[in-house]
């Protein structure tokens, strides 16, 4: 029979079970963006400016800042002739144009999967469509994508907002989505769009990226068995917040934490099974840190539940590629 010791729940062997969702933590776009800043620091030397947080994670940003990266909100904080990296979330054409006008040394950290959505926005707008973007107002990715065709795009967050749009047959309308949305919630918004605009055109492929989809599916696979879900990620990380919301919808108590030290002992009272995952911008080392902290409350047994393996890798921009990765014609990027 299970016993309760020191106000926390443990099994017969005195262990709490930790279900580790897989995939979790860094995606290919985040790994690429961080490596871009690291290589820029190596090749150009500090300071290297980064517009916005390279990814939405406090420890990633603090670590790079300690090595000479300077994070700014806008380009007017970047001195002339400096190197500036655009964050993984992407930028609008207006920001690119400003950087060119200023003659800045730009290295683009935009994830190729975000760049794909930008290209779709341009293509749809160029054929005369009204493009509905499903996403969160104020998020950097949304600002960048909307900036591709500001006169042709409409942002919606919820099915209620879709119902508030003027009804039409949907001819000359298409939709796109932010890459890090909740898959189930987005399906509801898209079905509201299709109902209101029957001739609405789909994007050629899903805009919610593989990493977002996999992390949500992996969490879904463990949530019913978890009394408590811990999501490692920072509070401005949209995909991490979506994981917490998903756990809540699945009936679990859930918290977003930056590190192990954030765990409050009272969260673990009566908890036999902890589900653990991490958003796409949270370093794997922080998951290890959370496991160490969980161990400090008593023995744990860790079981990984991996639903799929990810082997996606994106090439670096040529501006920071080594000699071996440079294109055959040696063109700069
Ligand atoms: O989940 P969001 O978009 O807030 O970003 P993040 O930095 O926490 O995670 C990586 C995802 C992106 C860079 C957006 S495509
Ligand atoms: Fe790219 Fe997806 Fe990662 Fe965003 S979450 S950086 S779109 S791989």
237, 281 contact by CB (below 8 A): yes
Q: 248 and 182 in one domain?
A: no
Q: 96 and 118 in one domain?
A: no
Asked if the model's pLDDT at residue 86 lies above 90, the reply is: yes
| 141 occurs within a structural domain | yes
Residues of the domain holding 60? 28-111
Q: 302 and 215 in one domain?
A: yes
In the listed set 156, 173, 196, which residue is the last one of a domain according to the structure?
196
| 244 occurs within a structural domain | yes
Q: 131 and 106 in one domain?
A: no
Ligand 2 center–CA 261 separation, angstroms: 27
User: The CATH number of the domain where 296 resides is what?
Assistant: 3.40.1010.20
User: The CATH number of the domain where 101 resides is what?
Assistant: 3.40.50.11270
| 68 occurs within a structural domain | yes
In ligand 1, the atom with minimum distance to the C-alpha of 178 is: 15
**Is 235 among the catalytic positions?**
no
Quick one: which of 189, 146, 203, 196 has its CA closest to 171?
A: 196
Q: 282 and 221 in one domain?
A: yes
Total of domains in the chain: 3
Q: Which tens digit of pLDDT belongs to each residue from 223-258? A: 999 999 999 999 999 999 999 999 999 999 999 999
Nearest 5 degrees, angle CA 261-CA 263-CA 267?
Answer: 160
302, 18 contact by CB (below 8 A): yes
Q: 221 and 301 in one domain?
A: yes
Residue 82 CA, chain-centre distance (Å), reads 27
Q: Atom 8, ligand 2: which residue's CA is nearest?
A: 29
- Cβ–Cβ contacts within 10 Å for residue 145, how many? 29
197, 242 contact by CB (below 8 A): no
Asked if the model's pLDDT at residue 325 lies above 50, the reply is: no
209: region left, alpha or beta (phi > 0 left; psi from -120 to 50 alpha): beta
Quick one: which of 274, 206, 277 has its CA closest to 245?
A: 277
Asked if the model's pLDDT at residue 71 lies above 90, the reply is: yes
Pocket of ligand 1 (CB under 6 A): 29-30, 55-56, 88-89, 111, 114, 141, 179-180, 237-240, 279-281
The verdict on whether omega for the bond into residue 23 sits within 30 degrees of 0, i.e. cis, is: yes
- pLDDT category of residue 132 using cuts at 50, 70 and 90: very high
Distances, alpha carbon 38 to alpha carbons 45, 115, 144, in Å = 10, 21, 24
In the listed set 147, 171, 196, which residue is the last one of a domain according to the structure?
196
In the listed set 196, 221, 236, which residue is the last one of a domain according to the structure?
196
Q: 224 and 188 in one domain?
A: no
Q: 286 and 229 in one domain?
A: yes
Q: 38 and 17 in one domain?
A: no
Q: Which tens digit of pLDDT belongs to each residue from 272-289? A: 999 999 999 999 999 999
- pLDDT category of residue 14 using cuts at 50, 70 and 90: confident
| 85 occurs within a structural domain | yes
| 311 occurs within a structural domain | no
171, 140 contact by CB (below 8 A): no
In ligand 2, the atom with minimum distance to the C-alpha of 111 is: 1
Q: 214 and 155 in one domain?
A: no
Mean pLDDT for 140-162 is 98
Ligand 1 center–CA 24 separation, angstroms: 13
Look over the chain and give the mean of its residue pLDDT values, rounded to a whole number: 94
Q: 273 and 233 in one domain?
A: yes
Q: 255 and 286 in one domain?
A: yes
What percent of the chain stands above pLDDT 90? 92
Q: Which tens digit of pLDDT belongs to each residue from 160-209? A: 999 999 999 999 999 999 999 999 999 999 999 999 999 999 999 999 99
- What is the C-alpha to C-alpha distance for residues 111 and 134, in angstroms, rounded to an integer? 18
- What is the C-alpha to C-alpha distance for residues 136 and 178, in angstroms, rounded to an integer? 8
Pocket of ligand 2 (CB under 6 A): 27-30, 88, 111, 113-114, 179-180, 209, 211-212, 239, 280
The whole-model pTM stands at: 0.94
| 328 occurs within a structural domain | no
| 214 occurs within a structural domain | yes
Query: Residue 145: which residues within 8 A CB-CB, separation 6 or more?
Result: 90, 114, 117, 118, 121, 133, 135, 153, 176, 178
Write down the catalytic residue from 140, 141, 143, 148: 141
- pLDDT category of residue 12 using cuts at 50, 70 and 90: low
| 203 occurs within a structural domain | no
What is the greatest pairwise CA distance in the chain?
71
48, burial (CB in 10 Å: exposed 0-12, middle 13-18, buried 19+):
buried
Strand-strand pairing, 228-232 and 273-278: parallel
Asked if the model's pLDDT at residue 329 lies above 70, the reply is: no
Ligand with minimal distance to 256 CA: 1
């Amino acid at each position: 029979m299970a016993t309760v010791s020191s106000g926390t729940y443990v099994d017969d062997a005195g262990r709490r079970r930790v279900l580790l969702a897989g995939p979790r933590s860094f995606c290919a776009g985040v790994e690429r963006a961080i490596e871009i800043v690291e290589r820029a620091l190596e090749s150009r030397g500090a300071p290297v400016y980064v517009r916005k947080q390279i990814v939405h994670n406090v420890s990633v940003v603090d670590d790079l800042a300690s090595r000479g990266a300077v994070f700014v909100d806008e380009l007017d904080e970047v001195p002339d002739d400096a190197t500036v990296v655009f964050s993984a979330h992407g930028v609008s054409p207006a920001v690119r144009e400003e950087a060119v006008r200023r003659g800045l040394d730009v290295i683009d950290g935009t994830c190729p999967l975000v760049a794909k959505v930008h290209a779709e926005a341009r293509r749809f707008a160029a054929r005369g469509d009204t493009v509905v973007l499903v996403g969160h107002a104020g998020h950097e990715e949304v600002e960048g994508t909307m900036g591709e065709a500001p006169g042709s795009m409409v942002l919606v967050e919820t099915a209620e907002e879709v119902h508030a749009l003027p009804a039409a047959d949907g001819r000359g309308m298409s939709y796109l989505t932010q890459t890090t949305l909740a898959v189930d919630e987005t399906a509801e918004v898209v079905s509201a769009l299709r109902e209101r605009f029957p001739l609405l055109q789909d994007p050629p492929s899903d805009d919610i990226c593989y990493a977002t989809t996999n992390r949500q599916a992996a969490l879904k696979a463990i949530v019913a068995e978890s009394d408590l879900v811990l999501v490692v990620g920072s509070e401005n990380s949209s995909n991490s917040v979506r994981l917490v919301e998903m756990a809540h919808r699945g009936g679990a108590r859930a918290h977003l934490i930056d590190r192990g030290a954030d765990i409050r002992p009272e969260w673990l009272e009566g908890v036999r099974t902890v589900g653990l995952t991490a958003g796409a911008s949270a370093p794997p080392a922080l998951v290890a840190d959370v496991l160490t902290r969980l161990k400090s409350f008593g023995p744990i047994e860790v079981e990984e539940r991996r639903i799929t393996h990810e082997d996606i890798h994106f090439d670096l921009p040529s501006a920071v590629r080594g000699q071996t990765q440079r294109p055959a014609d040696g063109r700069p990027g």
